[in-house]
A and B are shown apart, each in its own frame.
Chain A
Amino acid sequence: MKIKYQHRQSAHCENGVTAGLVSHYGIDLTEAMAFGIGAGLFFGYIPFIRLNHLPLTTFRVVTGAIFKKVTKELGVKIYSRNFRDQQQAMQVLDETIAKGTPVGLQTGAWWLPYFPDAYRFHFNMHNLVVFGKEGDNYLISDPIFPEPVICASDDLRKARFAKGALAPKGKMYCLSEVPEQVDMAKAVKNGVRAVTKGMLKYPLPIIGISGIRFLARRLVKWPKKLGEENALLHLGQLIRMQEEIGTGGAGFRFIYAAFLQEAAPHLEDDRFLAFSERMTAIGDRWREFAVRAARNCKGRADAEDSYPAMAKILMDCADREEKLYQDLSEAVE
Chain B
Amino acid sequence: MPYCNKNRGSSLTNDNYIPKTNTMRKDEVPQDEGIAEGLKEVTYAVDDDGSYSLVPSAGWEPKNISNYQAWDIIAEQIDSTRQQVQNGKLSPLAYHMARNLMDLPLLAQYMGMMRWRVRRHFKPKVFNRLKPEILEKYARLLKVTIDQLKDITLVEDLKIPGHESK
Chain A residues within CB distance 8 Å of chain B? 9-11, 31-32, 52, 110, 116-119, 121-122, 144-146, 163-164, 228-229, 232-233, 235-237, 239-240, 243-245, 248-250, 254-255, 257-258, 261-262, 273, 276-277, 280, 283-284, 287-288, 290-295, 297-300
In the bound complex, what is the Cα–Cα distance between A245 and B69 (angstroms)?
Answer: 16
Minimum-distance CB pairs A-B, first 5: A294-B62, A258-B52, A291-B19, A254-B44, A239-B66
B12, B62, B73: the one contacting A243 at CB < 8 Å is: B62
Known: A118-B67, A257-B52, A299-B1. A248 touches B161 (CB 8 A): no
Closest-CB distance, B143 to chain A (whole angstroms): 10
B16 vs chain A, min Cβ distance (A): 11
Other A-B contacts than A10-B54, A118-B37, A243-B60, 6 sampled, CB-CB below 8 A, are A9-B42, A31-B54, A118-B161, A228-B1, A243-B66, A257-B52
6 contacts between A and B (CB under 8 A): A11-B54, A116-B36, A117-B159, A236-B69, A240-B66, A298-B9
> What B residues does A144 contact at CB under 8 A?
41-42
Task: Assess the A233–B73 pair: CB atoms within 8 A.
Answer: yes
Hey, which bits of chain B sit against chain A, CB under 8 A?
A: 1-4, 6, 9, 12-13, 15, 17, 19, 21-24, 35-46, 50-52, 54, 56, 60-63, 65-67, 69-71, 73, 101-102, 105-106, 109-110, 159, 161
Which residue of A10, A118, A293 has the most chain B CB atoms within 10 A of its CB atom? A118
Measured between beta carbons, the chain A residues less than 8 angstroms from B60 are 243, 249
- Structural contact, B50 and A299, CB atoms closer than 8 A: no
Which B residues are CB-close (under 8 A) to A273? 50
> Which of the residues B19, B35, B37 comes within 8 Å of A292, measured between beta carbons?
B19
Say whether B19 contacts A236, CB under 8 Å: no
